[in-house]
Amino acid sequence: MTYYSNANPDLLAKIPVTARRVLEIGCGTGGFARAYRDINPSAEYWGVELFAEAAEEARGVLDEVVLGSIEEAAVLAELDARRGDRRFDVLIFGDVLEHLLDPWSVLRTLRERMEPSAVCAICIPNVGHWTLVREQLLGRWNYADAGLLDRTHLRFFSRDTAVEMISTAGWGPLDADARVLWPDKTEAAIKALTPAALSFGGDASKAKRDLSAFQWVLRGVNGPLPPRLAIAALGMKKVGGVTEARVDHPMAALASLPSIRATWGAGTVALPGGAEPGVFVLHRQFLNDETLTGHVEGLVQKGWTVVSDIDDDPHHWPGYVESDFRAFRGVHAVTVSTEPLAEMIRRWNPNVAVFPNAAARLPDAPATTPKAGDRMRVFFGALNRENDWGPVRDQIVALADAHADRIDWVVVHDQGFFDALPASASKTFHPTLPHPKYMALLAGCDIALLPLSDTPFNRLKSDLKLVESASAGVVPVCSRLIYADDPAHGAFAVFADSPDEWHQALLGLIASPDEVKRRRDLGRAHVATHRMHAHEAPRREAWYRDLVTRGADLEAQRQARLAAMAPRQSQNA
């Protein structure tokens, strides 16, 4: 059943995170549905599955599963009887259409069950992949149990014929992207085969594209294609999950929408093609050097709306201060993570939007409590918190020593915190981790420590660490500063400020697995309902589109701010 449990990440990235009702043809055991619902937990998910054993397992994941072939009239009739007058926002075919006798008719028939503007997302094998071309040049076409020449495949498609199939069935073709496997081998094969394509009058770039794709990931829209907004985002070098939270995750959510073309990167980014100039986001870029400011001015001249993003007090970095906060004055608008930070940024730019940090997905987490047998796992993994945990060090050390037989300590990045734990404690240290590994490690723990001292810098921080902990099914023990600002957090977090409160909070949770489970379930449900990028993406898109429509006015404001900066900079020179 492994094949039927897989979740194709390239196809998953193309499913709109805002879908209300999804229909997957060939849902297998529910692996793809589970992966999607980790991103959009509120979606209603339906499936049709040919194999009874897989369908039975899928029923534990999906809202509705219909057993049988979608090409059978009885199966379609059962689907219609169950859905009534409800229609679907998304239709998914993951490696299915090639197994059907008449995929054209299936696409056309199911389109009638879709909402206007619904998205059809397809992954389909490429008959023009270099491995098949090579085999044909060698006189071979051998069917196999799996792969491009799976013996159960009835239809074969190139990119052009797959797009034509979508169009013939009444869907508006939106995009068709190559899924490339084995890039090194692929590059060598393309070098060998491209001359042959050119000798037959082919185009080099098209030949490279068509030969490299193992599969095509395509999308169509039920109705006219939406006007597409281009968004590019440039993040800083990745450390501690900051760029992921402010760039990667929100951009990935936006990119899943059919109305958006988005690209993003850390250190460099390519502008998205296929759309007019839109919004260019600069995350934690100081704009204090001629190269970057020149690049920004060039983008503005081409019609781009430039937005800065910041999620911490900018006074912490000399680059912002010494440039007189040009990063905010010299752009059209600014996005931040909290309202107190927005209030500060409005000194330099009135066009500020607050987009709170959110979870991209709900990580897999063990269902048991404690998660690791009979010992609680306590996690500490924040950056630069030495001054925050110092005041409660003695209480944590004493508790770790007194309950060494009941706690496993998991520490990321902070060597000082790890060393402070007594030798008697069961403890594991990890250096700074990439964000996916960080979240996987966190999801294996029961309790997370989130201390924050009351400082001007900390007052402007976001509650990201609490959101991450709750999404992973981990109970946060945290300071009231920042984390208690939302009254809803009190249902699942445990607040502590004084050393005695920290000691009692930890002791109480360690002694009560039932309370830990109750709070972890409430925390995960809170994030699933209120703090996902799936919830935020529509508002972010609407705000970006509004900026673009106000482009002329925003540019006039920006020029006025830059003009006002010049005298001050001359005085400081």
Give the distance, in angstroms, between the CA of residue 530 and the centroid of all CA atoms in the same chain: 16
Q: Which pLDDT score is estimated for 234? A: 95
CATH of 229-358+541-572, one of 2.60.40, 1.20.58, 3.40.50, 3.30.70: 3.40.50
Strands 114-125 and 215-221: antiparallel
Give the mean pLDDT of 55-84.
97
Per-residue pLDDT, averaged over 152-168, amounts to 97
Q: How confident is the model at residue 549 (pLDDT cuts 50, 70, 90)?
A: very high
What 3-state DSSP class applies to 339? helix
What values do phi and psi take at 46, rounded to 5?
-115, 155
Q: Provide the pLDDT for residue 387.
A: 87
* pLDDT score of 571 more than 90: no
Residues 6+ apart with CB under 8 A from 288: 319, 320, 322, 323, 326, 327
Lowest-confidence region among 224-233, 467-476, 563-572: 563-572
Q: What are phi and psi of 101, to 5 degrees?
A: -70, -40
Tell me what pLDDT residue 373 has.
85
Please state the rounded mean pLDDT for residues 105-122. 98
CATH of domain 376-530: 3.40.50.2000
Condensed to tens digits (0 to 9), the pLDDT of residues 82-97 reads 999 999 999 999 999 9
Distances (CA, A) of 212 to 187, 188, 446: 8, 10, 44
For residues 173 and 386, which has the higher predicted lDDT (pLDDT)? 173
Q: Is 483 exposed, middle or buried (0-12, 13-18, 19+ CB in 10 A)?
A: buried
Q: What digits encode the pLDDT tens for the residues 522-545?
A: 999 999 999 999 999 999 999 999
58-64 LR contacts (CB < 8 Å, sep 24+): 58/27, 58/28, 58/29, 58/30, 58/33, 60/30, 61/29, 61/30, 61/33, 61/34, 61/37, 62/27, 62/30, 62/33
Give the SS3 label for residue 447: strand
pLDDT at 1: 42
Q: What is the value of pTM for the model shown?
A: 0.94
Averaged pLDDT score across all residues of the chain: 94
Q: Please say if the pLDDT value at position 4 is more than 60.
A: no
Q: What is the CA radius of gyration of the chain?
A: 27
At residue 564's C-alpha, the angle toward residues 559 and 569, to 5°, is: 120
The ranges assigned to domains in the chain are 2-221, 229-358+541-572, 376-530
Q: How far is Cα 122 from Cα 91, in angstroms, rounded to an integer?
A: 8
Locus of tokens 């009534």: 84
Does residue 285 register a pLDDT over 60? yes
Run of H or E including 501: helix 499-510
* pLDDT of residue 5 exceeding 60: no
φ, ψ of residue 310 in degrees (nearest 5): -145, 140
Q: Which three-class secondary structure state does DSSP give residue 23?
A: strand
Helix (H, G, I), strand (E, B) or coil at 353: strand
Q: What is the pLDDT of residues 114-141, one digit of tens each?
A: 999 999 999 999 999 999 999 999 999 9
Helices (H) and strands (E) in the chain, counts: 26, 19
Residue 190, pLDDT above cutoff 80:
yes
Task: Single out the residue of 212, 222, 208 nearest to residue 87, CA to CA.
Answer: 222
* Cα torsion 143, 177, 361, 182: sign: positive
pLDDT at 308 over 50: yes
Q: How far apart are CA 381 and CA 387, in angstroms?
A: 14
Phi, psi of 492 (to 5 degrees): -125, -25
In the prediction, which pLDDT does 239 show?
72
SS3 assignment, position 552: helix
Among 198-207, 297-306, 471-480, 553-562, the minimum mean pLDDT is found in 198-207
Question: Taking residues 49-64, what's their average pLDDT?
Answer: 97
Tell me if 189 sits within 8 A of 211, measured CB to CB: yes
For residue 444, the tally of other CB atoms under 10 A from its CB is 19
**Three-state SS for 147?**
coil
Q: Rounded distance, CA 263 to CA 185, Å?
A: 26
Span 368-381, pLDDT tens digits:
999 988 899 999 99
Identify the three-state secondary structure at position 429: strand
Distance from C-alpha of 308 to C-alpha of 552, rounded to nearest angstrom: 18
Superfamily of domain 2-221 in CATH is Vaccinia Virus protein VP39 (3.40.50.150)
Alpha carbons 543 and 540: distance in angstroms, whole number? 5
Whether 229-358+541-572 and 2-221 are alike in CATH topology: the answer is yes
- Cβ atoms 36, 22 nearer than 8 A: yes
